[in-house]
Amino acid sequence: MHETENLYIIDSSSLIELQRRYPPDIFPSVWEHIHDLAVSGRLVAPIEVKKELLEGYDILLQWVTDHDFIFQEFDDELIEKTQEILRQFPRIADSESDKLYHADPFVVALSLTMKERPQQTLTKYRICVVTNEKGKLPGNPNLHPDNMKKIPDICSNLGLDCVDHFGMFREENWSF
């Protein structure tokens, strides 16, 4: 019998929100659990998330440095999948933003790539995106893909599982 575990692809918004709501000096157990997920290989992010965090969130600098191993470098497959996401959902990379980096299309692309890639372990992984963005589909079920720019909406459209950090806590049966 094969065990199924969640493999999380985390967005910058979730790490930023975790830092804001659960500072490590006050909630060390939250960050110990996050660390354990990372060390077990069940928490990953595209390298663009790291770049986004380093661009403007100094408070996460030490965590990003200590967990550099979770950030996945580009390969041809990820670049191709990111281009596909950008063609299908052109608003996901907010061109009106002042940000230098836009990790969202890479988060979705990494999730799709990992979901489609044959798994080579005894453990079966359920791929799940973690973001604290709020989608618009719940209030607007007819939203056209051309107008989708939030990760939860795009994940829903593509059949990807997506939760916020509380959802990840629940999935992992964590309580604090």
Domain residue spans of the chain: 4-171
pLDDT score for 124: 85
pLDDT score for 40: 95
* pLDDT-flagged residues of the chain (< 50): 1
pLDDT score for 128: 97
Q: Strands, DSSP E only, in 18-160?
A: 43-46, 71-72, 124-130
pLDDT score for 92: 84
pLDDT score for 1: 44
pLDDT score for 3: 77
Q: Which fold has domain 4-171?
A: Rossmann fold (3.40.50)
Distance CA 107, CA 161 (A): 12
User: Structure pTM?
Assistant: 0.89
Q: Which of 84, 101, 113 is nearest to 12 (CA)?
A: 101
